[in-house]
Amino acid sequence: MPIWNPWHGCHKISPGCQNCYVYRRDSQFGKDSSQVARTGNFDLPLRKNRDGSWKLSGEEPVYACMTSDFFLPEADPWRAEAWEMIRLRQDLSFVIITKRIERFSVALPADWGDGYANVTILCTCENQEQADRRLPVFLSLPIRRREVIQEPMLEEIHLEPYLASGKILRVTCGGESGEEARLCDYGWILDTRSQCIRFGTAFHFKQTGARFQKEGKVYRIDRKFQESQARRAGIDWEPGDRRWMDALFDRLSRSAFRSSFHLRARERAYLEEKGMAVMEQHARDFVRQRLAPAEPAHDGKQTPMKGHPVFLAQHATGTCCRGCLYKWHRIPKGRELYPAEQDYVVEILLEWIRRQQKSG
């Protein structure tokens, strides 16, 4: 991946910085990472080869400032020039990862408008506190391409209020590398993935980190396998990818209780008479009234209403009460469901009914 480091050095500002790889690497060479300086590659985007071609070219995005932070105060005097190089190289796309999103507007170009089309900003959120501090700012800024990166991911993080904005294109997760690496739990990664699917946001599992916990067992993973192990998990997700639905129905089929529900003659007759459009409307109404409130009435005590396919579908898919919704779909109790989450439940209910129809 092409990298452009216009300046080097940084300061630790939040828990994610504890084992910063820049500090780790510099210490091997006796270098003080807290000294911030422009590098010899400052103008790399404008440099050319002898044959006149750009030194930086190609389709791959250029990662800027990987040994510092683009919005570091010491870099304020240099940033306008860096933005200008980015503006001039519209043929390249640039990725900027920051823990200092609150400093985004310092030295922003006058012609920035709602953002240069060739710039993607990734806001780092290593824990819930930093997500709640940084993401409201991130969402309020004029940025065309926004992504979130949870790396090193230090705990389960709830992004739902921010994903609901529809302004976040992708969430990337990863663990921490190095000898002192803190634990990363696969359950946190899957939880973020589930949030992304519910809100239609792309998801990327980048790397496991060096200490990775899966189903209660802790693994020490060598640096050279951290990315390949994440790839092997095969859990990246893009909007429109329906494989999660197959995985869900596969899990449900392994539950004796959930798989005991089927459309019988009575429900089939009702379905035949009303049609799928009415089923969808009923599903939306049931979900909104019985499931979506923060504290639904009679939650957990619902029984399938005989004769209605949607109620059967709710029990068959673990969407019957907030307890089941958490257990099967990781949607927390005690808060109202977002509209996107209601759509997600309705989509599952209709899918169950369709599958039942097909299975005859």
Interaction site with ligand SF4 (CB under 6 A): 10, 12, 16-17, 20, 22, 68-69, 99
Spatial distance between the Cα atoms of 145 and 123, rounded to a whole number of angstroms:
11
Spatial distance between the Cα atoms of 352 and 356, rounded to a whole number of angstroms:
6
Spatial distance between the Cα atoms of 278 and 115, rounded to a whole number of angstroms:
43
Spatial distance between the Cα atoms of 79 and 65, rounded to a whole number of angstroms:
11
Q: How far is the CB of 102 from ligand SF4 (least distance, A)?
A: 13
CB 292 within 8 A of CB 342: yes
Quickly list DSSP for 124-151.
Answer: E--SHHHHHHHHHHHHHS--SEEEEEET
Q: How far is the CB of 99 from ligand SF4 (least distance, A)?
A: 4
- Nearest residue (CB) to ligand SF4, 20 versus 353: 20
Spatial distance between the Cα atoms of 219 and 140, rounded to a whole number of angstroms:
39
Q: How far is the CB of 16 from ligand SF4 (least distance, A)?
A: 6
Q: How far is the CB of 39 from ligand SF4 (least distance, A)?
A: 14
Distance of CA 220 to the CA centre of its chain: 24
Q: Which two tokens stand for residue 161?
A: 């209020």
- Nearest residue (CB) to ligand SF4, 12 versus 330: 12
- Nearest residue (CB) to ligand SF4, 33 versus 319: 33
- State yes or no: cis peptide before 73, omega within 30 of 0: no
- Using the Cα atoms of residue 134, residue 137, residue 143 and residue 145 in order, give the sign of their dihedral: positive
Q: How far is the CB of 72 from ligand SF4 (least distance, A)?
A: 8
In terms of DSSP bridges, do strands 7-8 and 37-38 run parallel, antiparallel, or are they unpaired?
antiparallel
- Nearest residue (CB) to ligand SF4, 173 versus 202: 173
Q: How far is the CB of 82 from ligand SF4 (least distance, A)?
A: 16
Q: Which two tokens stand for residue 24?
A: 């780790």
Spatial distance between the Cα atoms of 339 and 342, rounded to a whole number of angstroms:
5
Give the single-character DSSP code of 287. Answer: I
- What backbone torsions phi and psi does residue 159 show, to the nearest 5 degrees? -105, 5
Q: How far is the CB of 142 from ligand SF4 (least distance, A)?
A: 23
Q: How far is the CB of 21 from ligand SF4 (least distance, A)?
A: 7
CB 142 within 8 A of CB 112: yes
The CB density around residue 322, as the number of other CB atoms within 10 Å, is: 23
